[in-house]
Chain A
Amino acid sequence: MTVLLASTAAGLFGIGTYLVLQRKLSRIIIGIALLGHGANVLMIGSGRAGNAPIVGNGDNADLADPLPQALALTAIVISFGTTALLLALAYRSWLLTDDDEVQDDVEDDMIARRGMPDDDLADAGDPSDPDDVHPDDPHPDDVRAAGSARDADAGDRS
């Protein structure tokens, strides 16, 4: 039984990790959910197995340990709430960008750019690369609602 639980947890962790490493937000969310299930299965497996833990249901030594089950329930409720929030965020992101991809940090790109020699900058300024930030681009503060600017790129990336 424990081996079964452990291998289930391992499988869930493996698939979850793979999905979290993807660039699509929907996959990341499913990955997070699977990782959460893996952790909960692990939690269930941490207590003693046995009969349903109700007083009078046979000898006390044969009862399952109810504490990990209660803890797993709490963890499930928490992950339910956070997954719902994550879905809302992903939906908001999709509304703003028409795209399901995790975006790079614009500010990081600008700083990395400052460390490049000039001729690399010329190469890096390829207009077909939507992650590029040009020195004369508006600062991220100014593109707060600039979802539409990325629409043109969304098509050829997915």
Chain B
Amino acid sequence: MSSLVVLPVLLPIVGAALSILLGGSRPLQRAIALTVLSANAAMAVVLLVEVDRDGPVSVQAGGWAAPVGITFVADRLSAIMLVVASLMLLAVLVYAIGQPGAERNHVGFQSVYLVLAAGVSAAFLTGDLFNLFVSIEMMLTASYVLITLGGRLDQVRSGMTYVVISLLASVLFVALLAFVYASTGTMNLADLSTKIADLPAGLRSALAVLMLVVFGIKAAIFPLYFWLPDSYPTAPSPVTAIFAGLLTKVGVYAIIRTQTLLFPADTRPTTLLLVLAAATMVVGVLGAIAQGDVKRILSFQIVSHIGYMIMGLGLFTVGGLAAAVLYTIHHIVAKTGLFLTGGLIEHAGGSSRLTRLGGMVRTAPALAVLFLVPALSLVGIPPLSGFIAKFALVDAAASSSSYAVMAVALVVSLLTLYSLMKIWIAVFWSPATEPLASPPDRAQGEHLGGPLLMVAPTAALAALTVAIGLAAGPLYDLSLRAAADLLDPSAYLAAVAR
């Protein structure tokens, strides 16, 4: 049981090592990666069921008791995130295997991808602030390699921005760790939550703001979002999809975890977070409207939707946090699905520019469906997952009388619809305005709109957004229980101290 808390981290690392050794054989590498990630998904589901039934579980590395040893702990929030993340990692891996390009041409793809998986799992499961730094670094270092895979000029240019910004965030993180250790003498999250309460108010809010900045860069909240729309679109499409789905959410998870667990209830920065959330939503969606490229529109929308999650956190009520959790689940699935469809559009149309694509509702009708389902879900059309998540969020905002941010959220939904319909009309309905000189040759049997291995995971994610919408009741109840745990961390603290 308790080994389930560490295995999702260890297994991918072992898999990555094996995968390097077997670099000569792509089929063996694929078999390892698929096995490891399927096992991870299965373990994550079992972990979620058990944690939901019996409360949080923890493991102390090396058997040293809590404040000394390195703690791994799974509560409902981390288990939920782990389930969604491992499903996405699996779906995107299948897609990458099916796509001609990134995965086939690079010996290291599978290993680096598994390291990324290990870093993401470790970030969700760790109960130690320094170990959170190490996990995030592990994830980011893998992402530096993936984002510049291919080494083209535009990738190197945007990859450089991405790496430099991430390294600056890491430097700030190390400084944060130094300040936290100097003021409390511990790195354990559970231990910190009792010791930070005794610090002077000024020091406490300095730490809280520094944490918000460090994780805000990773999560791309306003005004620290500028690197994201620049760097994500140049990577190969499966890489962009997994980045869009998971990397920013690790930042959001870290913000939710630190702001709820570490700081006492009466000093929570509600107004600050709500203002940042509203600004993130508005700036992101306005950026998306201005773009003329499928991947860039989708990238700006990531920024916009991070705002919704921060808004749920900023309310600091059970309803608000539950909505934030539900929104994160929905957004990971819908956004990964949309980016995978974006990759299929690029594959079938030969470009991702709106002006060069057109009429695909006739040439690739399957893609039109695969785009429309997650797109409408992102906007929040019932009965898809986005409707439930947005409804929960707006409901929570209304019951805390935060009407201003609620209005912003609703208007931004409308603008999201506008920016997505811009893609829909340009890519699927209208003819291309500047047709490509040489249209890409379609391989045999691509009536689906792409190779089967690319279409199948995309379709699975589209089906998952529908399923989340249909299973909204149980999922919302689960999110409510996760949110209640966050606001009352006594079970978490007890699990770590045990």
Smallest beta-carbon distance B15→chain A, Å: 20
Is A146 part of the binding interface, using a Cβ–Cβ cutoff of 8 Å? Answer: yes
A68 and B141 in contact (CB under 8 A), knowing A107-B293, A108-B230, A111-B292?
A: no
A124-158, CB < 8 A from B: 139-141, 143-147
Is B171 part of the binding interface, using a Cβ–Cβ cutoff of 8 Å? Answer: yes
A108 proximity list for chain B (CB < 8 A):
230
Whose C-beta in chain B lies nearest to the C-beta of A70?
B130
A89–B164 Cα distance when bound, in Å, is 11
- Please indicate which of the listed interface residues A20, A43, A143 has the most CB atoms of chain B within 10 Å of its own CB: A43
Across the interface, A35 reaches (CB within 8 A) one of B153, B156, B168, B181, namely B168
Is A89 in contact with B160, judged by CB distance below 8 angstroms?
yes
Across the interface, A140 reaches (CB within 8 A) one of B154, B163, B171, B291, namely B154
Is B35 part of the binding interface, using a Cβ–Cβ cutoff of 8 Å? Answer: no
A74–B437 Cα distance when bound, in Å, is 53
B107-140, CB < 8 A from A: 130, 133-134, 137
A75 proximity list for chain B (CB < 8 A):
133, 174
B151 proximity list for chain A (CB < 8 A):
92
Whose C-beta in chain A lies nearest to the C-beta of B293?
A107
A89–B158 Cα distance when bound, in Å, is 11
Is A45 in contact with B171, judged by CB distance below 8 angstroms?
no
B178 proximity list for chain A (CB < 8 A):
39, 42-43, 45-46, 68
Is B174 in contact with A144, judged by CB distance below 8 angstroms?
no
Chain A: residues with Cβ within 8 Å of the partner, total of 48
Smallest beta-carbon distance A72→chain B, Å: 8
B154 proximity list for chain A (CB < 8 A):
106, 140-141, 143-144
Across the interface, B167 reaches (CB within 8 A) one of A32, A47, A103, namely A32
Is B179 in contact with A46, judged by CB distance below 8 angstroms?
yes
A51-110, CB < 8 A from B: 67-68, 71, 74-75, 78-79, 81-82, 85-86, 89-90, 92-93, 96-97, 102-103, 105-108, 110
B141 proximity list for chain A (CB < 8 A):
78, 81-82, 85
Is B156 in contact with A92, judged by CB distance below 8 angstroms?
yes
Is B164 in contact with A32, judged by CB distance below 8 angstroms?
yes
Is B199 part of the binding interface, using a Cβ–Cβ cutoff of 8 Å? Answer: no
A106 proximity list for chain B (CB < 8 A):
154
Across the interface, B134 reaches (CB within 8 A) one of A20, A35, A74, namely A74
Is A20 in contact with B168, judged by CB distance below 8 angstroms?
yes
Is B153 in contact with A147, judged by CB distance below 8 angstroms?
yes
Across the interface, B181 reaches (CB within 8 A) one of A43, A82, A97, namely A43
Is B353 in contact with A141, judged by CB distance below 8 angstroms?
yes
Across the interface, B168 reaches (CB within 8 A) one of A25, A32, A114, namely A32
Is B175 part of the binding interface, using a Cβ–Cβ cutoff of 8 Å? Answer: yes
A53–B18 Cα distance when bound, in Å, is 38
A89–B153 Cα distance when bound, in Å, is 10
Across the interface, B153 reaches (CB within 8 A) one of A39, A74, A139, A145, namely A145
Smallest beta-carbon distance A6→chain B, Å: 10
Across the interface, B156 reaches (CB within 8 A) one of A36, A39, A93, namely A93
A143–B172 Cα distance when bound, in Å, is 36
Is B230 in contact with A105, judged by CB distance below 8 angstroms?
yes
Smallest beta-carbon distance B334→chain A, Å: 24
Is B12 part of the binding interface, using a Cβ–Cβ cutoff of 8 Å? Answer: no
A144 proximity list for chain B (CB < 8 A):
152-154
Is A42 in contact with B174, judged by CB distance below 8 angstroms?
yes
A93–B163 Cα distance when bound, in Å, is 13
Is B171 in contact with A35, judged by CB distance below 8 angstroms?
yes
Is B159 part of the binding interface, using a Cβ–Cβ cutoff of 8 Å? Answer: yes
Is A42 in contact with B145, judged by CB distance below 8 angstroms?
no
B74-103, CB < 8 A from A: none
A109–B230 Cα distance when bound, in Å, is 12
Is B181 in contact with A86, judged by CB distance below 8 angstroms?
no
A86 and B156 in contact (CB under 8 A), knowing A36-B174, A68-B178, A78-B137?
A: no
A32–B163 Cα distance when bound, in Å, is 11
Across the interface, A46 reaches (CB within 8 A) one of B137, B158, B170, B181, namely B181
Is B144 part of the binding interface, using a Cβ–Cβ cutoff of 8 Å? Answer: yes
B164 proximity list for chain A (CB < 8 A):
20, 28, 32, 86
A82–B163 Cα distance when bound, in Å, is 9
A146 proximity list for chain B (CB < 8 A):
153
B148 proximity list for chain A (CB < 8 A):
89, 92
Interface residues of B (CB under 8 A from A): 130, 133-134, 137, 141, 144-145, 148, 151-154, 156-161, 163-164, 167-168, 170-172, 174-175, 177-179, 181-182, 187, 230, 290-293, 296, 351-353, 356
Given contacts A20-B164, A89-B159, A111-B291, 9 further A-B pairs with CB under 8 A are: A45-B182, A47-B181, A75-B174, A89-B144, A93-B157, A139-B356, A141-B154, A143-B153, A146-B153
12 contacts between A and B (CB under 8 A): A38-B171, A45-B178, A45-B182, A67-B181, A78-B141, A82-B141, A82-B170, A85-B144, A105-B157, A111-B292, A114-B290, A139-B353
Interface residues of A (CB under 8 A from B): 20, 25, 28, 32, 35-36, 38-40, 42-43, 45-47, 67-68, 71, 74-75, 78-79, 81-82, 85-86, 89-90, 92-93, 96-97, 102-103, 105-108, 110-111, 114, 139-141, 143-147
